[in-house]
Chains A and B, each alone.
Chain A
Amino acid sequence: MKRLSGLLVLALALAGVMAAQSGLMITGAGATFPNPIYSKWFDQFHKANGTQINYQPVGSGAGIKQVTDGTVDFGASDGPMNDDQLKAYKTKNGVGILHFPTVLGAAVPTYNIPGVTGSLNFTPDALAGIFLGRIARWNDPAIANANKGVNLPANDIVVIHRSDGSGTTYIWTDYLSKVSSDWKDKVSKGTSVNWPVGLGGKGNEGVTGLIKQTPNSIGYVELIYAAQNKIPYGTVKNLAGTFVKADLASVSEAASGASKTMPEDFRVSITNAPGKNAYPISSFTWLLIPEKFKDAAKRDALKNFVKWAITDGQGDVEALSYAKLPKEVVDKELKALSKVQ
């Protein structure tokens, strides 16, 4: 709360300064996961076009709420808005809201087992079983069969998950819901869920900290966080039956695999996507842009930004460990931009 109000005060102060400097000021709020690349994009866009975009990384849920309430010009979310949220938006604002994928992220399993140094292979059944609490020991056949030659101890598994609401949790639980009907019935997917077992850590750093402190633990973090902090992580068996290690290429391939069946509104989950080397726990992150703007200048500037971000802007994403959008998706989005009026 304190931090939120602090941010608000800061944002207001900044808004005052900016308004005095230049004419156009666009505000957005939402997901924290794409914040590093968004900040970079907004900065570059500002330098090139003079349009100031002020983005508050307050979380996907808060982003959806703020854009629905009309307190910001656009929102951003790691999970697509559900039908209820879309309906609520339409009731409140009279028009619809559109989803535009910007970059891709992934969640990876990371663990701390004394004596095991190599990368472990995880089958969907093993992951679902561990997180449901059914697979209680590391030497369970469901894990051991996929890791021949690794000396897994007979110790109890300690599950670590995110305690704060998070897009990473959404991706993780979305995947588990797809591969395990038990998970779907008992827990389902969301940014916060009622975990059957385990300890909660706040943020990627909280989960990582707990895993490092707890022998025989397993948890999940964002790929970008694992990559930047050189945290080792395991591979996951995808729909095609290959054990895939998450990296920029395998995440992008998951997006290409899913793009053939991409719906018109881009609200698609690409977890467990087809494709030989597709990493199965991947996801888009979206900008949420209203269909109609009262202010034509704002609308044009925002459309210009999206167009630039999904084309030229994609050149910057890999340096920050995000995966690029596949070309098919970009083409489709460019067409969809005309729906914003």
Chain B
Amino acid sequence: MNVPSASPVADSRSFISRLRNGDEIARIVTFIFAATVVLLTVLLVYELWIASSLPRQKFGFAFLITKLWDPIAEQFGALTFIYGTIVTSAVALLIAVPLGIGAAIFLAELAPQKVSDPLQFFIDLLAAVPSVIYGVLGVFIVIPIMRTVIAPTLKATLGFLPLFQGPAYGVGFLTAGIVLAIMVIPYIISVSREVLLSVPRDQREAALALGSTRWEATWKVVVPFARTGIMGSIFLALARALGETMAVTMVIGNTPSISGSLFAPGYSIAAVIANEFTEATGDVYIQSLIQLGLVLFLLTFILNGLARLLMLLTASRGSGTGRA
């Protein structure tokens, strides 16, 4: 990451000589590839925008702040789905970030390689498990445990909080958040471990030489140094959690409602699109579902932007950062 790039050297030569030895061709080809990604994103947004004009005319901005979703009366509002998407992703990150980063620190800094490498192999395997498997796991394991153990315990201990009140069906925001957390932890661990391992040895040794303990060197030097990369792993996890469809729809309860309780059933944007798209009849209905896709896209965009902003703010306050 901190290796000086080769381009200043290449730039000093003439265009022809760069073309001849392939540098320029490589630059153009890779530029085209990079541009394709941007172009695809732009086209995607454009298509979603074009294909969802009817609900914008009919509902306008109210689409974002209305709760009612009634396919028969052709009244559509996205608020309950936006709420569900944000709440489940937030719960997932609250659980997954400390667990994931903790595990990554152990694997990268504290565990002997004999333990670390096989564990990493299992974690990479977990990251490759299809989401429907996590959904099944949620239905047959998390839901019963939620109903019989987690919910009663939370009610008994933290029941004074509105977050943990009301009937617990087993499905709901909290269950969806837990299943999502299980899904995104491997991403956080994998990426964070790689980033921590790539922190130069001398950083660590300098801290140890100054008399810090091993934990101090890890927590005060290595982790801050790798902060950018660790944040990157969290963005990846957030993006995955926001867009996850199958596992969420199996455990969230699929009820478009907004409730302060995490035990209540809810609905997410991706889940309602997957559930209703195939049987949607009528242009307004279909286009409202497409517009929900657009909303999800913007939501991902905004949340990622906010997270990045937060990172910039904390980075400027902090001492050492990864980026030179």
Contacts and interface: CB of A to CB of B under 8 A. Distances in A.
Q: Which among B71, B147, B278 has the highest number of chain A CB atoms within 10 Å? A: B278
Contacts of B72: 187-190, 193-194
A220 B265 CA distance: 19
A199 B169 contact: yes
Nearest to B246: A202
Interface string B178-219: 000000000000000000000000000000000000000000
B254 A61 contact: no
A164 B245 CA distance: 13
Contact of B280 (A1, A61, A163, A201): A61
A199 B277 contact: no
A162 B253 CA distance: 10
A187 B72 CA distance: 8
Nearest to A62: B278
Nearest to A84: B282
Interface stretch (A19-27, A120-128, A205-213): A205-213
A191 B281 contact: yes
Interface string B155-187: 000000000000101110000000000000000
A58 B278 contact: yes
A153 interface: no
A192 B250 contact: no
Contacts of A163: 249, 254, 271, 275
A202 B250 contact: yes
A69 to B, nearest CB: 12
B6 interface: no
Contacts of A199: 169, 171, 253-255, 265
Nearest to B146: A213
Contact of B169 (A58, A158, A187, A209): A158
Given A193-B71, A199-B171, A199-B265, A165 B250 contact: no
Interface string A171-202: 00000000000000001111111110011111
B253 A61 contact: no
A200 B140 CA distance: 16
Q: Which among B250, B254, B274 has the highest number of chain A CB atoms within 10 Å? A: B254
A166 B277 CA distance: 11
Nearest to A189: B72
A210 B170 CA distance: 9
A139 interface: no
Contacts of B92: none
A210 B171 contact: yes
A221 interface: no
A59 B254 contact: no
Nearest to A210: B171
A206 B265 contact: no
Contacts of B265: 199-200
Interface residues of B, number: 33
A189 B72 CA distance: 7
B11 interface: no
Interface in B249-304: 249-250, 253-255, 265, 267, 271, 273-282
B278 A61 contact: yes
Q: Which among B144, B170, B281 has the highest number of chain A CB atoms within 10 Å? A: B281
Contact of A200 (B68, B275, B277): B275
B241 interface: no
A60 B139 contact: no
A270 B248 CA distance: 36
B18 to A, nearest CB: 41
Q: Which among A61, A193, A201 has the highest number of chain B CB atoms within 10 Å? A: A61
Contacts of B271: 163
Given A61-B279, A62-B278, A213-B170, A194 B255 contact: no
A166 B281 contact: no
A4 interface: yes
A307 to B, nearest CB: 29
B69 interface: yes
Interface string B311-323: 0000000000000
B143 interface: yes
A61 B283 CA distance: 11
Given A199-B169, A199-B265, A210-B171, A192 B279 contact: yes
Nearest to B70: A194
B269 to A, nearest CB: 13
B281 A61 contact: yes
Given A158-B169, A214-B169, A202 B279 contact: no
Nearest to A193: B72
Contacts of A194: 68-73
Nearest to A191: B279
Given A190-B72, A199-B254, A200-B255, A164 B279 contact: yes
A65 interface: yes
Contacts of B280: 61, 165, 192
A85 interface: yes
A72 interface: no
A214 B175 CA distance: 14
Interface in B220-267: 249-250, 253-255, 265, 267
7 shortest interchain CB distances as A-B pairs: A165-B279, A200-B254, A163-B254, A59-B278, A194-B70, A61-B279, A61-B281
10 contacts: A1-B274, A58-B278, A61-B278, A191-B279, A192-B71, A193-B72, A199-B254, A200-B253, A200-B267, A209-B250
Given A200-B255, A200-B265, 19 more contacts: A1-B273, A61-B279, A163-B254, A187-B72, A188-B72, A188-B73, A191-B279, A192-B71, A192-B276, A193-B72, A200-B254, A201-B254, A202-B274, A210-B139, A213-B144, A213-B170, A214-B147, A214-B169, A214-B170
